């Protein structure tokens, strides 16, 4: 059987990267399943009580149980756990033995994936214990030379159109174009999704 595919909006990663600072901090993540659970779209961070320090974070079991029950009552589930590690380099996102053990426990019940963010939130690495997973990020990001490890480029004011910085001036929507429905660019998230869905139908 093929991997469980996770679609992750980069906006969720930006939000998590900000909230998980300074390390170590932790959030669970919910979302929704498609294709009998073979595709999972991560959508929302779930806050739980925890005890945190510079080098460790432990969620409160009662708070996790309460959040999990609330999600199950809504026919949703905990799909992932995001947390941060000290250290700004890419290798700071390597999961610890405790992280791997956490993934092992969660994987016994349902699909689950972990993610570690570096200090400052520049890098994020997704990982599992044994579950075979593929992560597809849609939105602005950089694939690193390591599997399921991504660089999140900072968004600054320079990325805004010049006219947006002028007070009182509105930025109108793009006018409709004849080529607005052409195939997505090769490096876009939509292209990845489209390619994956085509493979699924074959």
pLDDT tens per residue, range 148-180: 999 997 665 443 344 433 444 444 444 444 443
| 18 C-beta neighbours (distance < 10 Å), count | 10
Q: pLDDT-derived band of residue 1, with 50, 70 and 90 as boundaries? A: confident
- On whether the pTM is more than 0.95, the answer is no
Domains of the chain: 4-156+180-201 (3.40.140.10)
Give the N- to C-terminal CA distance of the chain in Å, as an integer: 14
Q: Which helix (H) or strand (E) holds 42?
A: strand 39-46
Alpha helices (H) along 25-140: 61-73, 97-107
Residues composing the chain: 202
């Amino acid at each position: 059987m093929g991997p469980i595919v996770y679609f992750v909006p980069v906006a969720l990663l930006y939000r998590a990267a900000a909230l998980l600072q300074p390390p170590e901090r932790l959030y669970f993540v919910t979302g929704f399943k498609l294709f009998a659970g073979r595709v999972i779209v991560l959508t929302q961070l779930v806050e739980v009580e925890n005890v945190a320090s510079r080098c460790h974070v432990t969620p409160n079991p009662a708070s996790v149980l309460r959040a999990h029950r609330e999600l199950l009552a809504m026919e949703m589930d905990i799909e992932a756990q995001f947390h941060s590690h000290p250290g700004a380099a890419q290798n700071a996102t390597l999961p610890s033995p405790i992280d791997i053990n956490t993934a092992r426990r969660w994987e016994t019940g349902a699909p689950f994936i972990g993610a570690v963010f570096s200090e400052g939130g520049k890098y994020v690495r997704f990982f599992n214990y044994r579950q075979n997973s593929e992560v597809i990020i849609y939105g602005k990001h950089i694939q690193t030379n390591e599997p399921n490890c991504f660089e999140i480029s900072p968004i600054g004011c320079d990325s805004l159109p010049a006219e947006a910085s002028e007070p009182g001036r509105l930025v109108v929507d793009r006018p409709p174009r004849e080529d607005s429905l052409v195939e997505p660019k090769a490096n876009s998230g939509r292209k990845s999704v489209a390619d994956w869905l085509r493979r699924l139908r074959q």
